Amino acid sequence: MLDRWLTEHDPDEISDVLHVRHLTPTPEVDPQAAQDWLGHELLRNYVSSGELDMLETVFRDLALPELADHLIKHKLPSDPKVRSGDFGEALSGALFRRVRRWCVPVLKLRFKHRPNQPVQGADFLAFRLRQVPPVVASPEVKTRLDKRLDVGREAAKSLQSVMDDLPSSILFVAAHLSERGVALGSRIGQLLVSEFRVERHIVLVHDERHWDRRVVERLEPELTDQTEVTVIRLPELRALIGEAYASAAGAPARIAARRSIGPGSASGRHGQESEPVDA
């Protein structure tokens, strides 16, 4: 769905250190289908398939609206600022996983203790472990609903802060995978003592109406290392985020409806596409 919903335009090489790629929605995709997909993607960023199975069992006798109410109160953020930031991280993570085929093995938003509490550290880590040497990316994501000309510069500073402490983020991913008994945890943990290459990425999720090229122009002087910037320009972004969270709360009901139709009506246990373990 994501590769059909967002169209990537010709890349723009601003300088030797700054490459920019723009993505915008395509009108060929049904808006309701895109909204449903966003709801499912948001939900899976907060709730694992195992946790959702457990919640469905617990709330079975109370019907799915009670489960939706639980998700709204205890899993999904209500603070508009936190919502917009989480939305940008979830969308960017999906772009790297499903379209650019990076390995993104840990979804950080699942580790929140409270819905409106931000999670510290890198927005997410992405890996290409089959390359020699392996490649690690820690995209810095910023979501803006209005015009902020310095958002690129802010992202560059945040990215550098993460780069300075990248081993801590690698350890976070390796430890959580190992706790789950996933062999990939050991492979990622080996990066702490072996050579790997770093790619620098910034993702700006921005309201289409308020996008301004000067964001990129102000960013370029801040960079000393090659950085790829992805700008996802979405119309009526504030409304889209609100609709996506409403869709996330209603996702279990849609999943149950598809499941009742029979096998083959959904692409997985909870209507999700299969993910790459390594890319």
Q: Which of 134, 113, 114, 116 is nearest to 125 (CA)?
A: 134
- What lies within 8 Å, CB to CB, of 114 at 6+ separation is none
pLDDT digits (tens, 9 = 90+) for 197-232: 999 999 999 999 999 999 999 999 989 899 999 999
Share of the chain above pLDDT 90, in %: 65
- Whether residue 268 is predicted with pLDDT greater than 80 in this model: the reply is no
pLDDT digits (tens, 9 = 90+) for 237-248: 999 999 999 998
CA distance 45 to 110: 6
- Whether residue 278 is predicted with pLDDT greater than 80 in this model: the reply is no
Q: Which of 56-60, 121-125, 137-141 has the lowest mean pLDDT?
A: 56-60
Q: Which of 169, 168, 174 is nearest to 188 (CA)?
A: 174
Residue type for position 150:
D
- The reported pLDDT for the residue numbered 196 is 96
Give the number of other CB atoms < 10 A from CB of residue 190: 14
At residue 230, what are phi and psi to the nearest 5 degrees?
Answer: -110, 125
- Whether residue 259 is predicted with pLDDT greater than 80 in this model: the reply is no
* DSSP line for 71-122: HHHHTS---HHHHHHHHHHHHHHHIIIIIS--B----GGGG-SSTTSPPPS-
**DSSP strand E in the chain: where?**
6-8, 12-13, 18-25, 126-128, 135-137, 140-144, 197-207, 227-234
- The reported pLDDT for the residue numbered 262 is 56
pTM of the complete model: 0.87
